[in-house]
């Protein structure tokens, strides 16, 4: 089981390049950043994590710029989107951004995608909230066409283009590992339709989470494939980590608070020590 770090890169913590060096220097396999282009001040959509929205949600750097900085400052660290809010992005532009970053990183990109929980945020990007999952599906599939076809076309309800050329193609073939985020009732259906794996956020109910992992794996096996699982924002409780390893979870991402340089380094070192003790690597 691989182990990485997950945090919001902001203007109030070490810069993304330094975060990459901290992660790689402490032996982590990967570093994942989330995305919010902005947070609407109305705050009508409730944050799934509780009543008060953490400060870092309003101060996060651009996802792809931050990932590029982390990739350029490291040599072996995998860099991941955890997650890219695809309904907020033009698919043609994003396909080129992802492919370019995959080249710049030497094929170290992992591309997590999701539709997002903040309805006002996606509305500001011109997408009806109730359509965001359908929009995500088509935009992901359109990007897959752009990555894998020399002359790509896509005709859908939300994405439309005919016979376009777009290079570079991703360095990883056919494209970077594509993980789908979320916990909704149809997330496994969507994962099996157009993603390589699932990237759920850790919850307080490991029984329920691992039951869904088992369902995903069983249904993937029926299709003659294996679906990977990365669990986002895990804690450091040894018994939970051991259980994830026994369940053959592919990757866990330890949550790292958004704090100053010294505190970030100290926390990363502490997590690395726990990782070595529990996971042996």
Report domain 2-279's class.
alpha beta
Q: Name the residue among 249, 178, 251 with its Cα closest to residue 217.
A: 249
What's the pLDDT at 281?
Answer: 78
Q: Measured between alpha carbons, how far is residue 217 from residues 181, 211, 225 in Å?
A: 16, 10, 9
Q: Name the residue among 27, 32, 28 with its Cα closest to residue 16.
A: 32
Gap between the Cα atoms of 161 and 153, Å rounded:
6
What's the pLDDT at 84?
Answer: 99
What's the pLDDT at 267?
Answer: 96
List the end-to-end C-alpha distance of the chain, in Å, as a whole number.
9
What's the pLDDT at 36?
Answer: 96
Give the tokens for residue 182. 């979320």
What's the pLDDT at 43?
Answer: 86
Give the tokens for residue 94. 């994003």
Block means of pLDDT (10 residues each) for the chain, 281 residues, are 97 96 98 97 87 91 99 99 98 99 99 97 97 98 99 98 98 99 96 98 96 98 98 96 97 94 95 94 78
Q: What is the pTM of this model?
A: 0.97
Domain ranges of the chain: 2-279
């Amino acid at each position: 089981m691989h182990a990485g770090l997950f945090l919001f890169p902001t203007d109030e913590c070490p810069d993304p390049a330094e975060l990459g060096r901290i992660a790689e220097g402490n032996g982590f396999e990967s570093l994942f950043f989330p995305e919010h282009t902005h947070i609407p001040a109305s705050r009508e959509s409730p944050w799934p994590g509780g009543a008060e929205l953490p400060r870092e949600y309003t101060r996060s750097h651009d996802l792809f710029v931050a990932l590029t900085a982390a990739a350029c400052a490291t040599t072996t660290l995998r860099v991941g989107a955890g997650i890219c809010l695809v309904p907020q992005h033009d698919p043609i532009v994003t396909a080129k951004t992802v492919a370019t970053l995959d080249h710049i990183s030497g094929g170290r990109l992992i591309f997590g995608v999701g539709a997002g929980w903040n309805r006002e945020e996606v509305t500001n990007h011109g997408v009806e909230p109730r359509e965001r999952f359908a929009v995500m599906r088509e935009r992901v599939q359109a990007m897959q066409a752009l990555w894998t076809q020399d002359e790509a076309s896509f005709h859908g309800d939300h994405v439309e283009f005919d016979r376009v050329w777009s290079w570079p193609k991703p360095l990883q073939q056919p494209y970077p590992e594509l993980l789908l985020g979320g916990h909704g009732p149809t997330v496994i259906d969507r994962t099996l339709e157009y993603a390589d794996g699932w990237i759920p956020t850790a919850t307080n109910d490991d029984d329920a989470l691992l039951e869904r992992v088992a369902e995903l794996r069983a249904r993937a096996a029926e299709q003659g494939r294996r679906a990977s699982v990365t669990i986002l924002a895990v804690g450091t409780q040894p018994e939970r980590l051991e259980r994830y390893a026994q369940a053959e979870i592919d990757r866990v991402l330890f949550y790292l608070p958004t704090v100053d340089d010294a505190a970030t380094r100290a926390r990363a070192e502490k997590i690395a020590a726990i990782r070595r003790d529990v996971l042996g690597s």
